[in-house]
Chains A and B, each alone.
Chain A
């Protein structure tokens, strides 16, 4: 019998479950990569992993440190240049699901990965956009994974790097963004999903042992919640064993 799952493990397992029926997933390093490899191990062995470095159909055995680790290109179905990756594969809408992280997320799932503070005199200079803006505009849907805290889930972004649902209903269509945009924000407390009418992030799922009040306490805006959020199904023995084995490789 495995030891009980940590909140960190739950967050990764929940992210991996979202990939059960996807054909292709675009991932960066960190939790998204772990979740996608886990999904291939447990739920969806045919899942095509696409990394920004141009590796399409990578089959890493270990979790890569960078998106350009040698194991990704050596195991890929195809390796393409960056212009091709963004124009023919991402921009053309050939990717079903994309995972993104961010330093800040607002109530419409817009993302900041550029600066904290003023742009010209930033308190913290973050790495910047990378591929995120066009990944979020063109992939079929976007799943965001972040830590659930008031620092991250903010009333107002310091900088809008990547459009989620803009200023609300209809914003994506007005801006000509073709994918569905963010469909879930997976945190260590639960899952937020955009309301079908208002496009505002709503607490729809709680991990075991977490309350709506706790989630609201850790959110920088007045968080809407379903009357009865679903409770996250406890990670199965198979999921946990696979995840722990993967992390130990």
Chain B
């Protein structure tokens, strides 16, 4: 079902529950001079995940799928693979299993990251194989520290060209990544400067959204807010749609008008987790070490569990 809304926005409803029809864009009258203007977008559109990925992510795009251990958008990443996206520049602080899978399937041209390990388990074997042996093809890398990446996202969210921090000084990273040193104009202190991140698309997962696409996530918030606000286009997958967001301690709320698309993907962060809804599958993180160690076994596993008919929602 397709509803035509304000500004020619097509709202495709795939989840009938609690979704309100789009309203006309609100007209705001300025109290001082009486001029009238219209807000940009009323709300995020709710699309089926496959339609969302098809519309928002193109071959060659720079894509950030964020979620710091928690709320990693696996379902959306797997949809990228099912749609055969190639040549992507992938940004993520901690590549984790999801980027190990994308790299191993040959979807990445370039990787921007700060920690490429399987947390608590060891290596990401597909990430290593790509860098050490160029399998399935060589990838370009740009690596930073966590502090550097976090500040790059924050600068991107603020639409500033760069961020400053105390960091990188004295390390070999300086010779191998994009960092400069500047003098503080007030104190003269030497500080590191790192370029803002501005992905074409940011994809994050959250617990819930309401019918207008306002999103709420809670638990470890990572850099999702910054990634979303730094990106040109945004997709949020959610566990569920609710009538109304109930305030939660420490929650991050992303207003629907600041997002492009919301898609429902229950369990969409597994084997990572969505606090309060799913649990981290630590056993799978351990199993991945064996599954991913061998190219053949990895490829067979991906065909069966991600690309196969049974894997598609």
Q: State how many angstroms separate the Cβ of B141 from the closest Cβ of chain A.
A: 9
Q: Which candidate, B14-22, B77-85, B119-127, is the interface stretch facing chain A?
A: B119-127
Q: Which residues of A contact B150 (CB under 8 A)?
A: 82-83, 85-87
Q: Which residues of B contact A130 (CB under 8 A)?
A: 94, 114-115, 117, 145-146
Report how many A-B pairs have Cβ atoms within 8 Å.
175
Instruction: With a 10 A CB-CB cut-off, give which of B93, B127, B167 has the most chain A CB atoms.
Output: B167
Instruction: With a 10 A CB-CB cut-off, give which of B93, B146, B153, B273 has the most chain A CB atoms.
Output: B146
Q: Which candidate, B51-59, B258-266, B279-287, is the interface stretch facing chain A?
A: B279-287
Q: Which residues of A contact B225 (CB under 8 A)?
A: 81
Q: Are A133 and B119 CB-contacts (below 8 A) given A53-B69, A65-B285?
A: no
In contact, B147 and A91 (Cβ under 8 angstroms): yes
Q: Measured between alpha carbons, how far is A135 from B167 in the docked complex, in Å? A: 9
In contact, B172 and A161 (Cβ under 8 angstroms): yes
Q: Measured between alpha carbons, how far is A109 from B151 in the docked complex, in Å? A: 27
Q: Which residues of A contact B306 (CB under 8 A)?
A: none
Q: Are A137 and B115 CB-contacts (below 8 A) given A52-B146, A73-B70?
A: no
Question: What is the interface residue range for chain B against chain A?
Answer: 35 or more
Q: Measured between alpha carbons, how far is A80 from B124 in the docked complex, in Å? A: 26
In contact, B250 and A82 (Cβ under 8 angstroms): no
In contact, B280 and A128 (Cβ under 8 angstroms): no
Query: Residue B115 contacts which of A64, A129, A166, A175 (CB distance < 8 angstroms)?
Result: A129
Q: Which residues of B contact A30 (CB under 8 A)?
A: 120
| Chain A residue at smallest Cβ distance from B189 | A176
Q: Which residues of B contact A123 (CB under 8 A)?
A: 132
In contact, B120 and A29 (Cβ under 8 angstroms): yes
Q: Which residues of A contact B68 (CB under 8 A)?
A: 53-54, 68, 82
| Chain B residue at smallest Cβ distance from A159 | B172
The answer to whether the Cβ of B222 comes within 8 Å of any Cβ in the partner chain is yes
Query: Residue B226 contacts which of A83, A127, A129, A133 (CB distance < 8 angstroms)?
Result: A83
In contact, A134 and B275 (Cβ under 8 angstroms): no
| Chain B residue at smallest Cβ distance from A90 | B147
Q: Measured between alpha carbons, how far is A129 from B166 in the docked complex, in Å? A: 15
Q: Which residues of B contact A87 (CB under 8 A)?
A: 147, 150-151, 165
The answer to whether the Cβ of B267 comes within 8 Å of any Cβ in the partner chain is no
Q: Which residues of A contact B75 (CB under 8 A)?
A: none
In contact, B221 and A125 (Cβ under 8 angstroms): no
The answer to whether the Cβ of B198 comes within 8 Å of any Cβ in the partner chain is no
Query: Residue A129 contacts which of B114, B120, B124, B285 (CB distance < 8 angstroms)?
Result: B114
In contact, B170 and A131 (Cβ under 8 angstroms): no
| Chain B residue at smallest Cβ distance from A132 | B145
In contact, A163 and B166 (Cβ under 8 angstroms): no
The answer to whether the Cβ of B295 comes within 8 Å of any Cβ in the partner chain is no
Q: Give 1 or 0 for each of B110-138: 1 = CB within 8 Å of chain A CB.
A: 00011111011101100110011000000
| Chain A residue at smallest Cβ distance from B128 | A125
Q: Can you list 19 A-B pairs, Cβ within 8 angstroms, ordered by A?
A: A53-B220, A53-B222, A67-B120, A72-B220, A73-B70, A81-B226, A82-B146, A83-B154, A86-B146, A86-B151, A86-B165, A114-B173, A126-B117, A128-B115, A131-B146, A161-B171, A161-B173, A177-B169, A177-B170
Closest 4 CB pairs of A and B: A68-B69, A127-B117, A130-B115, A66-B119
Q: Name A residues whose Cβ lies closer than 8 Å to a Cβ of B.
A: 29-30, 52-55, 64-70, 72-74, 78-83, 85-87, 90-91, 114, 119, 122-134, 137-138, 159-163, 166, 171, 175-178
